[in-house]
Amino acid sequence: MMSSTNSIHPLLWSTATTLGNEAFAKVTSSKILLVGSGGIGCELLKNLALSGFKDVQVIDLDTIDVSNLNRQFLFRSQHVGKSKCLVATAASADMAPVPVNYVPHHGNVKSQKFNVSFFKQFDAVLNALDNVDARRHVNRLCLASDIPLIEAGTTGYLGQTTVISRGATECYECQPKPTRKVYPICTIRSTPSQPVHCIVWAKELFTLMFYHGDPKDKSMLYEDEENVEESTYMDAVVRRRPKSNNEIAKYVKDTLVALYITEVQKQIDMDKYKGSKNPPKPLNLSEIEAGLLLDIQGAPSNAFKKRDYQSNVWTVSQCVAQILSCTSAYYESCKFSSKLMQEFDKDDGVAMDFVTAASNLRAHIFGIENKSLHDAKGIAGNIVPAIATTNAIVAGLQVLELFKILKHKDSNDASNENLKQYIKEHCRYTYCLRDKTRKGYYLLPTKLPSPSDECFVCRKASLTIIINTKEFSLKDLLDKVIKKRLGFNEPTIMIGGEDGSIIYEEGDGADETFIVNLPKKLAQLPCGGLIDGSSFAVEDFTQDMEVEMIVTHRDEWDEKKEPDGFIIVGGNDKMAAAARAGASKEGNVESKKANGNGSHDNGVTERNPKRPNSEDIDSSSVPAQNLADEQPPSKKLKIDNVEEVDGSNDNEIIEIE
Ligand SMILES: [Zn+2]
């Protein structure tokens, strides 16, 4: 062993010794595609560089934002505004102990040049993406090119890693996805347009005001003094905190004036909102003063303790009074100690009162709908921050799966059947948990699930669509169903199945005369139209994908319960028949689950989120003496929490990037 490791760089000895020389040689000669160079992608590139990978290509279309710097550690402040994949490949290549060939592709993975033949040159693909849309696209390309895909995602403290291999394992789309959204920091800071933007801002303000210590890395509203364009509120909020009870009212007044009058006016004066349809209007000093008096006179105790305290939207004065009262409560509870008061917790009544009041004042300024405490709590409870440690853990797990795959890849096995069999048996779907299991594990490896027979992507199962064919237009079908729900990129639609007549197509050289069909109702389309019992096919060459869809017409739709106006049922005839019989009931579940297609998603909980049965637990990876003793984690995985949130209008998890 020693003689052959002599030619290996000392920093790579441990990897070479662990894997064995033969497998290590496969690592150094392998060719890897990494999609995404953000939170997980930076960790992956560092891992690849320090494990001896020499040939890596990276696709990412993002540029570096200042808010990435706290966890995407290949980036420094001088890189803000530059291409993520360019900076990340250069930084990781510098880190590599041996010369490497790391190639960045600054662009969209959905673009035509990253097609099946591009994918086929790689030994494996690593996903480090943050949205469902791109994940589905890469999933399809990996299936089409039959390259193993190592997928990962995180949400706060939760994360997971899995391996997808065509025909051997479940693909990314075998299970429906929950919804998730990410808001860019500039929206939060200066151009909010929805209540949730104001609530995210108010949570950051809460930390800025009450975190005793340096709020530098704690609040995204924090700006240090060197910042060229420091906001006018920093001084009032952070540097002039009250030292006694007498100072609290003055502190609150100064803070509110700085946040809701001076800073807003400054931004207006800088022409920040020039041409905006709905420019902000700062609060009046008299409104703030009235609110402060309201508290001093003890009125809010009457006004706020009423039964509709939770469900009513508070007035501006009531919000001001609430902020004063919450601030007093916090300073009273900590007795002006230097310790951290509390991190925001939606179940802490005072914190939630504060966030509701502060967000509504901001919403008032920007002409955004105000929210009751009850509704604000539902929204605030779903906000999950990205955590660097979780990203590092899942990226580490991805590289371990990659080692396994490369080690067992046999260049003589053209069909890769042996490798597929190996992946199915030995690769793992690993959950990264927030709370340890009773046996003390934070990582839970489980067997990879088999492909779902109902999957239209990897099993080419046909789908049934239940729809009002007299009301739904081809454009609706294209936008809402084919692109948004089913994730097609450049679809061709054919009536009468795959050998039928084309009624619409997109992409290079597409016949534009088909555009005339877009406004037509489905029943009025050419070639007999789409009516009850007819079928159509959708094909996409960019994804090497096609699906056959059978139409079931239904007249009556309940707009509240079925806002999509269509239901899609996957799989075999039995399911489709059941769906036709009880369309309404079945369809609600389906449409709710799959609502998130196309939205941002860090990838957690894409599988059945319930903890796997003990049979699923991998006994070789979990060194437990008695697996039956294993208990579920004390907290359920995130999707369960999300489903339990009350007051939220939808199942969205909100993330801040
Ligand atoms: Zn599938």
420-476 per-position pLDDT tens digit: 999 999 999 999 998 888 899 999 999 999 999 889 999 888 899 999 999 999 999
CA of 53 to the centre of ligand 1 (A): 30
The alpha carbons of the chain give a radius of gyration, in whole angstroms, of: 28
Identify the pLDDT of residue 364: 95
Question: What is the spatial distance between Cα 350 and Cα 107, in angstroms, rounded to a whole number?
Answer: 46
Identify the pLDDT of residue 598: 33
Question: What is the spatial distance between Cα 125 and Cα 30, in angstroms, rounded to a whole number?
Answer: 11
Higher confidence at residue 227 or residue 381? 381
Q: Does position 156 have pLDDT exceeding 80, yes or no?
A: yes
Q: Does position 20 have pLDDT exceeding 90, yes or no?
A: yes
Identify the pLDDT of residue 131: 81
Domain boundaries, the chain: 2-175+387-447, 193-367, 463-570
Identify the sign of the CA torsion 212, 214, 216, 222. positive
CA of 170 to the centre of ligand 1 (A): 5
- CATH classification for the domain delimited by 193-367, as one of 1.20.1050.140, 3.30.2320.50, 1.10.10.520, 1.20.140.10: 1.10.10.520
CA of 450 to the centre of ligand 1 (A): 9
How many CB atoms lie under 10 A from the CB of residue 646?
9
CA of 174 to the centre of ligand 1 (A): 4
Identify the pLDDT of residue 565: 86
CA of 492 to the centre of ligand 1 (A): 21
Q: Report the SS3 class of residue 419.
A: helix
Question: What is the spatial distance between Cα 359 and Cα 319, in angstroms, rounded to a whole number?
Answer: 9
Tokens of 444: 């839970």
Give mean pLDDT, residues 361-367.
95
Least confident of 131-145, 217-231, 306-320, 503-517: 217-231
CA of 486 to the centre of ligand 1 (A): 12
Q: Does position 2 have pLDDT exceeding 60, yes or no?
A: no
Identify the pLDDT of residue 310: 79
Chain centroid to CA 173: how far?
16
221, 271, 199, 213: which is closest to 241 by C-alpha?
Answer: 213
Higher confidence at residue 477 or residue 270? 477
> Active site residue: 42, 85, 142, 186, which one?
186
Q: Does position 504 have pLDDT exceeding 90, yes or no?
A: yes
CA of 569 to the centre of ligand 1 (A): 14
Whether 207 contacts 344, CB under 8 Å: yes
Q: Does position 624 have pLDDT exceeding 60, yes or no?
A: no
Identify the pLDDT of residue 609: 36
Q: Does position 603 have pLDDT exceeding 90, yes or no?
A: no
CA of 454 to the centre of ligand 1 (A): 8
Q: What is the mean pLDDT of the chain?
A: 80
Q: Does position 518 have pLDDT exceeding 60, yes or no?
A: yes
Higher confidence at residue 625 or residue 239? 239
Least confident of 63-77, 134-148, 205-219, 371-385: 205-219
Identify the pLDDT of residue 336: 57
Q: Report the SS3 class of residue 574.
A: helix
Q: Does position 257 have pLDDT exceeding 80, yes or no?
A: yes
**Letter for the amino acid at 581?**
A
Identify the pLDDT of residue 228: 60
Identify the pLDDT of residue 305: 55
Q: Does position 5 have pLDDT exceeding 60, yes or no?
A: no
CA of 111 to the centre of ligand 1 (A): 22
What lies within 8 Å, CB to CB, of 424 at 6+ separation is 165, 168, 169, 448, 450
What lies within 8 Å, CB to CB, of 610 at 6+ separation is 637, 640
Identify the sign of the CA torsion 50, 51, 52, 53. negative
Question: What is the spatial distance between Cα 317 and Cα 295, in angstroms, rounded to a whole number?
Answer: 9
Q: Does position 403 have pLDDT exceeding 90, yes or no?
A: yes
CA dihedral of residues 387, 388, 389, 391 (deg, nearest 10): 90
Identify the pLDDT of residue 590: 31
Identify the pLDDT of residue 442: 93
CA of 136 to the centre of ligand 1 (A): 10
Establish whether 319 is a catalytic residue.
Answer: no
Give mean pLDDT, residues 47-54.
97
Give the domain 463-570 fold.
3.10.290
Tell me which CATH code domain 2-175+387-447 carries. Answer: 3.40.50.720
Q: Does position 582 have pLDDT exceeding 50, yes or no?
A: no
CA of 603 to the centre of ligand 1 (A): 15
In the numeric block, the tokens 């003990």 are attached to 614
Q: What is the DSSP letter of 22?
A: H
Least confident of 102-111, 153-162, 437-446, 565-574: 565-574
Q: Does position 597 have pLDDT exceeding 60, yes or no?
A: no
Q: Does position 588 have pLDDT exceeding 70, yes or no?
A: no
What lies within 8 Å, CB to CB, of 30 at 6+ separation is 53, 55, 123, 124, 406
Q: Report the SS3 class of residue 115.
A: coil
pTM over 0.75: no
CA of 162 to the centre of ligand 1 (A): 13
Q: How confident is the model at residue 384 (pLDDT cuts 50, 70, 90)?
A: low
CA of 104 to the centre of ligand 1 (A): 29
Higher confidence at residue 389 or residue 306? 389
CA of 274 to the centre of ligand 1 (A): 48
Question: What is the spatial distance between Cα 241 and Cα 235, in angstroms, rounded to a whole number?
Answer: 9
Give mean pLDDT, residues 530-545.
90
Q: How confident is the model at residue 607 (pLDDT cuts 50, 70, 90)?
A: very low
Identify the pLDDT of residue 209: 86
Q: How confident is the model at residue 216 (pLDDT cuts 50, 70, 90)?
A: low
